[in-house]
Chains A and B, each alone.
Chain A
Amino acid sequence: MVEKNSASPGNPPKRFLRLRQFLGDVPLLAWLFGGLISVLIEQQVGERLANLLGLPKIPVLFGFMLAMKEPLLLPGALAYVLVLYILTIVLIGKITARPFNLMAAKMIQWPIAIPVILHLVVLYAIMHFWADISLYRELTLKLTLIAIMLTLSLNIINGYMGEFSCSHPGFMSLGAYGASAVMVLFFVNDRLFGDAILPEVLGPFLFPLALILGGIVAALGALLIAIPSFKTRGDYLAIISLAFMFIVKSLFENLQFLGGARGLKGQPDLANLPTVFIWLVICVWVINNFVRSTMGKALNAVRDDELAAEAMTVNTRRTKMVAFLFAAFWAGVAGGLFAHTVRFINPNTFGVQRLAEILAMVYFGGLNSVYGSIVGAVSLNLLGEMLRPLALFKWIIIPLLLILIMIYRPTGLVAFKEFDVRKLIQPKRKPEKEV
């Protein structure tokens, strides 16, 4: 769906224009409805359809993995995706465009929360039924959603603030260890912390608090590095933040009560799909509001010209500090969710490799843009998973893609685009015949 909405490069060829004409009047809710129907159909008859097309099972990630292992199945997998996802969604979206447009027109006059929640519920239902097919899908989806949070939070610093920070894995590990320590201490009979203190039923209630605590720990870490490093700019901040990442890593390697280099395991299994989804929604909402607030605009001013911003009464120091801590907080929350999804963390998980991964998602998706972060995190995560059968070649293809993106769109796929919820859910009219 994302591909279709964003099929608007500078000079689109004619058939794209025609496609846009054809699909331009479909509102978001109709798309979501189409998606919901398509995953429901998959749940009911997916297995049979797959067998009919000669596939052994439902293609788990759009048939990519299957086709790569057995190229003969490629037509079947393509047909499956075409019929079940693309055709169904387009067809239903197109058919229901008119009633949903009317509905959207009505809803847009209500308080914004009502239509937004409606959209989110449908979106969640799609994910739920899609992930219901296979636990592998669910795990991949959860890690993808967490990656969106990480990407978005780094985008605040690297995109909106225009600095180059390398300490995100550090913040993530602070959050991961913070949240894990609390949860393991209270709810798990463990070698490191001894017996559980609280009954297990309280776990889900304390989990959000533990995540927030993890976020706060990360923000405190960010404060430690922000104070000395904001006297510098550019390359120096990058170096200081990189050093910070290594300091955090070796801190956890040496903290025996948190497992040291052996890592910490046994986090309770609380990061299920709805939990991760709700946290992601909160994260996107808060960050989107933040970057569109006066503070966010001040942040852009600092990025473009710090001196001019100072002259225009922007308190640059405070702005930078708040943004940095804010980003670290969300990285910490994402780290906590990550720890409870994988249910094992060790200091090595939060090293240079993780940093490269997050940076790639930010720059692939697009700087200074919420859309971009979502696109970057989702595409790189799914791509990484879909190309898994290629093993070594995966690490040639993905970097190559990144290089191509950097050449043709130097700021990323969807950079500098505002995420306007009202615009997103409003009724759509047929675009005029332009050009």
Chain B
Amino acid sequence: MRKGFLALVAVLVLGLALAPCGLAAQKTIKIGINAPITGDIPKVGEGSKYAAEMWLEDIKAAGGLDVGGVKYDVEVIIEDNESKPESAAKAATKLITEDEVLAIVGPQSSAQAIPAGEMANNFGTPMISPWSTNPDTTKDRPFVFRGCFLDPFQGPVVANFIKEEFGFTKAAVLYDVASDYPKGLAEVFKEAWEKNNGPGSVVAFESFTTKDADFSSQLTNIINSGAEVLFTPQYYNEVALIVQQAHELGWKNPIVGSDSWGSAETVKLCGEECYGLFFTTHYAAAGATGATKAFIDRYNQKYGYVPDDVGALTWDSLRIVQAAIQGTGGLSGDLKKDREAVKDAMANIKEFDGITGKMTFTPDGDPIKCAVIVRISDKGEFEFYKSVCP
């Protein structure tokens, strides 16, 4: 028995000595997708995955990605972050060190994008989060970018829109205190509103906690406060409940929302109660033209529903990554250098023409882009109302 072992060892040693030292460099570009495929928000993960599949299809159809005159194969590696911070950090590390991706798209939510961005920045890998609105994601991280506008921009947009459109001076806010995004936006809105209309003009600033389903006490307070408009930066499932309950309690004034309303589910759950309401978002699906329409139609045909903003932003982010890779003018094959070059190219992108608007990155890695104000039409479609640019 021992002889057998020895023979095996001898063969192995010989084999190792003769083995080539590493395979020849293949001409493949790998792009990592860090998305919440499982966990709390699987729909978001699904949207990112589908957008990535469509993008890959395009590249394949073109016979690969042309960088500086050389055609590269492209591989998309989708990694599940379970919608957990530590898992997002692990997924990012795996993509960077194991799969050796050139750039990462995702994670979507800030709670995952912040730790994943830390890893990406430490290991010098460009990362673009399509959907994260927390300033900390990109702050002081040259390698981390984002594909959407930030809350400090969106808040004033909503406040100014209401002022111009309706001429109201007293607003109420209802938001989820336990959730990062609504809370941040509610605060920014309050600040912007009070700047426009003087201190104390937000007459009711009511909060609840995630998974609450009964808002009658908050809504009663809001109605009694004499507010003329209600701003609620909530997700689709809560929007439906809030709007329905407000109407039941006799609220007749407008209710205005933010980009978190921009899901197909909002209208499905809310029904006619939501018709005629306004919200700000990244793009309007109904009445879209050009590339935006082409994207929506293709997505709808392929997956059977109109993509929400996550899908569109992921699509744009992937195309930004593509533009940045092509903007390097040629890859050296040295991953570290190439990542650096992609980062530089991405930071230098000017007036990128995405389906969610034109984008130019600030030195922080945040895009300067326009917001769209959408009206939910009488057919339940998201109709373009107007566009607000910074």
Contact = CB atoms under 8 A, between A and B. Distances in A.
Contacts of A91: 5
Nearest to A262: B180
A345 B21 contact: no
A24 interface: no
B98 A250 contact: no
Interface string A406-428: 00000000000000000000000
Interface residues of B, number: 40
Contact of B38 (A345, A349, A395): A395
A353 B38 contact: no
A255 to B, nearest CB: 11
Contact of B84 (A65, A262, A349): A349
A195 B383 CA distance: 47
A329 interface: no
Interface string A396-414: 0000000000000000000
Nearest to B79: A388
Given A344-B85, A349-B86, A136 B180 contact: no
A100 to B, nearest CB: 18
Interface string B19-62: 11111000000000000011000000000000000000000000
A134 B100 CA distance: 11
Contacts of B320: none
B293 interface: no
B29 to A, nearest CB: 15
Contacts of A135: 93, 96-97, 123
Contacts of B90: 136, 139-140, 143, 385
Contacts of B91: 388
Interface in A209-261: 249-250, 253-254, 260-261
A45 B118 contact: no
Contacts of A343: 89, 115, 118
A48 B19 contact: yes
Interface in B82-117: 84-86, 89-91, 93-94, 96-98, 110-111, 114-115
Interface string A87-100: 10001000000000
A57 B98 contact: yes
B86 A262 contact: no
12 contacts: A134-B98, A135-B97, A250-B209, A254-B177, A262-B110, A265-B115, A342-B86, A343-B118, A349-B84, A349-B111, A388-B94, A392-B37
A392 B93 CA distance: 21
A263 B23 contact: no
Contact of B23 (A49, A56, A342): A56
A57 B98 CA distance: 8
Contacts of A250: 178, 209
A136 B93 contact: yes
Query: Which 9 pairs between the two chains have the least Cβ-Cβ distance?
Result: A344-B115, A52-B19, A253-B178, A261-B180, A48-B19, A136-B93, A342-B86, A391-B37, A391-B80
Contacts of B8: 87
A140 B86 CA distance: 10
A275 interface: no
Interface in B307-355: none
A48 B183 contact: no
A194 B139 CA distance: 16
B184 interface: yes
Nearest to A48: B19
Contact of B12 (A47, A83, A262): A83
A253 B94 contact: no
B134 interface: yes
Given A48-B19, A91-B5, A344-B115, A262 B94 contact: no
A344 B118 contact: yes
B15 interface: yes
A348 interface: yes
Contact of A346 (B79, B85, B98, B123): B85
A260 B136 CA distance: 14
A407 B247 CA distance: 52
Given A250-B178, A392-B37, A263 B5 contact: no
B196 interface: no
Given A83-B12, A392-B37, A139 B89 contact: yes
A135 B19 CA distance: 26
B50 to A, nearest CB: 14
B89 A342 contact: yes
A238 B38 CA distance: 28
A21 interface: no
Nearest to A84: B12
B179 interface: yes
B93 A51 contact: no
Contacts of A391: 37-38, 80
A394 interface: yes
